[in-house]
Amino acid sequence: MTNLPVPTLATEIPGNLIASSVWNAVGPNGLGFSLAVPVASLYQITVQGIPNASATAVNMDGENSDTYGGHSVVTNTSRYVGQVPGYYLTIATVLYGSSTVGVRIAYVYKNGALIDGAFGASPGSTYSSATAIAVPYLNGTTDYVEAWTYQTEGGTFNTNTSAGQASSLTVYWLHN
């Protein structure tokens, strides 16, 4: 998909009509962008060992969708780089295997730093998972978000990627 710019809507001043050239430049692109905003649904294919008591970026080496090409499955796989400036709904879910020992925490990081208040924890006996949600502003060129995790199993604990269950990072552009 061709990346569509965020439209700059034409303004109407009483007595001043919008020329067809302005409408043709703004109207279709504005509608097109509103129907095709940046969205990425990333997930983990390869099991990752997470060290005990050490915050770690979660690699996302699979994609369900990435409409504006903000993610790579080869380089910096933990990162989604916003391609259009704006606020992005960001949902990070980290899935571990079975254990009732310790805690599991998910975080949303922006540019390698924790976003305050963006974390969640949930130990469990079948699967242990945690989800974090944040709405950071990304500048459209260099800002990126990542799913990070922390666990206290007592040693390295693997993420789970079996039976259609996997850690994921979902990013959805909301507005500029």
CATH 2.60.120.40 segments of the chain: 39-175
Question: pLDDT digit string (tens) for 82-102?
Answer: 999 999 999 999 998 888 788
Greater confidence (66 vs 25) lies with 66
pTM of this prediction?
Answer: 0.83
62 pLDDT above the threshold of 60 = yes
Mean pLDDT lowest among 113-117, 120-124, 128-132, 163-167: 120-124
Question: pLDDT digit string (tens) for 120-135?
Answer: 666 666 678 889 999 9
pLDDT score for 35: 74
Model confidence at 18, pLDDT cuts 50, 70, 90, reads low
pLDDT score for 164: 77
Average pLDDT for 127-144: 93
Write down the CATH number for the domain with range 39-175: 2.60.120.40
Determine contact, residues 75/69, Cβ cutoff 8 Å: no
148 pLDDT above the threshold of 70 = yes
